[in-house]
Structure 1
Amino acid sequence: MDGLDAHQLTALFRLMSLRIDEARHMLGQLDGAIGDADHGNSMAEGFAAVVRASVQASSRGAGAGDLFAIAADSFLEAVGATTGPLYASAFLSAGQRYRGMQSLRAADIPGLIPAFASGIAARGKASAGDKTMLDVWGPAARAVVDAQAAGSAPLAVLDVALEAAEEGREATRAMTATVGRASRLGQRSLGHVDPGAASAVIIIAALRDGLAVHLGQGAG
């Protein structure tokens, strides 16, 4: 089975939500080192809201492509802090890419990563090396584009995207934060993983594992 309808896309969102919720405390600790310790709670609440809204929309007959705009609204309503607008923009960017589609092919799923990266970059105005979630989404998006151009299968594309994401997350340890609350710490932000980068890796890993399960290839 290749295509993902709204119910199956909702299941993918549910896996993201579960993984984020499991990491809530860890993400809070990372954020506590350089921010206000609310990143884990914010992400967990945002993705829980996405799941609730997606369940309701899919039960009303919404197409898979319609869920992204619904997810954007629900995430933003649940999370009013900086993370809310960033992920709302990510979901809206994906919604523009897949607007009107009743189902998404497996080959469409890796494209969520460059769509999210584009939305986050446009909203957040951060650059590579600023020690933000974009230091994960950017490399992962480039890995997707390169792997798709090489003709890789969807799951293989997500494998290389996840590898790039993990490398990006670890690279934030050596970066000095230049935007957001963490920028106030200056050199004291060195040595810490950016919490937004860490949560981005969790989302990408869940995307990969969710597609693997859908394709009957396990979760890695």
Structure 2
Amino acid sequence: GEFKWLGWYGHYLLVVAYDDASETFWVYDSWFGTSEVPMENATTDGRTLSYADADLQWRQFNRNYITLYRPEEAGLLVDIIGEDMDDAAMWQNSLSRTRSELQREPENAFLWFNLGTVYNALGQYEEAATAFDQARSIGLPWRMLWYQFGPYEAYYQTGRYEDIITLADVTLKDRPYFEEAYYYKGLALEALGDPAAARQNLEKAVNFNPIFQPAAEALATINE
């Protein structure tokens, strides 16, 4: 459509209805709005999105989701989510699914990125770093680290501090408003023995987002 020139972006979808017979979701889109005409909230019905298209886009974010439910419906929620209510089972299921998808699509950078995300969650940081390396080698959208920060964590846990600084600098170039990039750059600089520069970056993270607790906690421990 008319926004295609913008390239790859991430934005939230709120699913408000579905129909299994036609395999269709109705969604409110945080970027395009609620109607079929982008940027016009002309109807409360929502935009339509096929199950297939939704999953194709959703898996670019490792199929993350947030559930909204009434307290009295907690039991129903547990029944719907099933064994994935247990984090350990959820991540193992995600690992199996991602490996299976990669067997079919070994050149899909998003799937390699997802694999890195899963390995991070499992505490397998060397494997995570390798998966993120593969994703970057294949090629990711340049906005990828606006939304997901797994490479920073994997590289930090494996001592690849220079790589963190490089990624953060690229992400922050011309767009100096990502607290996560400042945070991880600060951690990397501290690990490299430059507490003054680390403090500067952590302060930028906190100033931009005062409720970003990881940066505030890291800043409190900096010794110059």
TM-score, normalised to structure 2, is: 0.30
Q: Which has a greater percent of strand?
A: 2
Between structure 1 and structure 2, the one with the greater Rg is 2
With CA pairs under 8 Å and 6+ residues apart, which has the higher RCO, 1 or 2? 1
Q: Which has a greater percent of helix?
A: 1
